[in-house]
Amino acid sequence: MSEIPLSVVPRQQTQRITDYRDEALSRDGFVVAWPPQRYWKNAESQFVDQSPPLHLYFHIPFCLQRCRYCFFKIGILSENSYAVRERYVDALCQEIAQVSEQQGIRGRRVQSIYFGGGTPSVLQPEQLARIKASIEQHFTLDDPEFVFEIEPVTFNDRLIDGLSELGVNRMSFGIQSFDDRVVALTGRHDTEAKNCAAIERALASGAVVNIDLLSGLEGETMDSWQHSVNRAIELGVHAVTVYKLELYSNAHYMDDIRAGALDLPDDEQEMRFARWGIDRLRDQGYAPSTYFTFTKGGAFPQRHIISRWRGEDLYGFGASAFGTLGGVARQNLSEIDEYLTCVEKGASPVQRVMQLSSADHMLRDVVMGMKTTRIDLAQYQQRHGLNLAWALQEDIKVLEQKGLLHHTSNAIELSAEGVIYGDYCGRYLGAALRRVMTGNSRPIKA
């Protein structure tokens, strides 16, 4: 009678488990606790601080325009939309108060705050200050990383002074391209001159600066792409995120494609852009801190996103925001009006919930772990009691043979080639782990 499949038991623990298959049938030996208390640690030395870190995400679903490539669910602001933003800010403050009480997280230490969108920089500094005051009233700030997304066209001295006062220490600019011709085709109103001025001003403020570039836009050529990547490096930003254009039916691009009026760079071209950009960034000393964000010298990783991927407690406020708290994933209503009406009535705007099983946690740490380019095997074993490299040895070998992974005694890591296919590797290993868990493992063709 082997209660725990020995293949998934870590070495340390297997030493404690008798293999009952060879024992005589017996009613002796009442199990009081597992693991038995003799293995528990001395209380004085362990777990002094019981409260795990908490991270907060705020979704600001408003933009000045819908960029032609973008599929995010957003509301477009008109000139006199101050009242709409006020209402949304009121709702966020109310949701903070509701959630902190209902979830029993009032006073918890907050290690990161992220304002994402949409375009958070369409809020006025005093509106942002109201949200920050509400956060401070309900939580304890533990010198948090404070990330803020900005569209350069909304950037001005008043905003940057306001952000510095609020304690924003990481600014993330949506740039997409430094080529004015390519930008104009997206429907954005930024220009290279405006973008560079905003980035320089942000760098001078002492914040960590990240910029987003988007590979595969209409009108992109190798020359325009190289210009964008080189400009980012010249500006000396701390981090460059290279997104691959994703197409969804609600993007304006799709209307044009259906009408036969838009010819985007094909997959092969897009791949050449991405490859060139990643190689160039690496040559200039930028290392992947995730498979799509490259940071100077490998420093300045963004803690918020990595904590989210590790499944640390994170609460998402605002329309469509999501997070996981105490092993329960929750997402709010995505329609702005429905979200507002619900919060204003004092009701919960949570629309979707999922209680994660231990298998979900194990799978998440593989699929999302690969996004960080590396899974630390000792850490994985400590969290889940599984020798991952042993359990997935055949599948790891397949990805190694494809040149996508390196496997050392400490870690499974994306290779330079694997960085281009980060999510593929995560999904591949996730599927392999699921097969092991469900007993559907089958020999894999190399």
157 token code pair:
């001295």
Q: How many Å apart are CA 18 and CA 1, to the nearest integer?
A: 10
Sequence-distant (6+) residues with CB within 8 A of 50 are none
| Binding status of residue 151 toward ligand SF4 by CB under 6 A | yes
Peptide bond into 52 cis (omega under 30): no
Q: How many Å apart are CA 209 and CA 239, to the nearest integer?
A: 6
Residue bearing tokens 């999501």: 322
Report CA-CA distances (Å) from 236 to 1, 174, 209, 445. 62, 16, 9, 45
Looking only at the bridges linking them, the beta strands covering 313-317 and 54-60 are parallel
Q: Which stretch binds ligand SF4 (CB under 6 A): 48-56, 61-69, 162-170, 336-344?
A: 61-69
Give the total of residues touching ligand SF4 (CB under 6 A): 11
| Subset of 222-261 contacting ligand SF4 (CB under 6 A) | none
Residue with Cβ nearer ligand SF4 (145 or 212) = 212
Q: Which stretch binds ligand SF4 (CB under 6 A): 21-29, 113-121, 262-270, 343-351?
A: 113-121
Least separation in angstroms between CB 175 and ligand SAM? 7
Residue with Cβ nearer ligand SAM (213 or 370) = 213
Q: How many Å apart are CA 11 and CA 193, to the nearest integer?
A: 59
Least separation in angstroms between CB 150 and ligand SF4? 10
Nearest to 241 by CA among 264, 213, 261: 213
Of 8, 9, 66, 230, the one binding ligand SF4 by CB under 6 A: 66
DSSP E strands: which ranges in 177-304?
Answer: 208-215, 239-244, 286-288, 293-296
The interface partner of residue 74, options being ligand SF4, ligand SAM, none and the CB cut-off 5 to 8 Å by kind, is ligand SF4
Long-range contact set of residues 41-48: C-beta below 8 Å, sequence gap at least 24: none
| Subset of 44-73 contacting ligand SAM (CB under 6 A) | 63, 69-71
Least separation in angstroms between CB 5 and ligand SF4? 46
Of 91, 93, 110, 117, the one binding ligand SF4 by CB under 6 A: 117
Least separation in angstroms between CB 292 and ligand SAM? 10
Least separation in angstroms between CB 73 and ligand SF4? 9
Q: Provide the binding-site residues for ligand SF4, judged by CB under 6 A.
A: 63, 66-67, 70, 72, 74, 117-119, 151, 174
Q: Provide the binding-site residues for ligand SAM, judged by CB under 6 A.
A: 63, 69-71, 116-119, 149, 151, 174, 176, 212, 214, 243, 245-246, 251
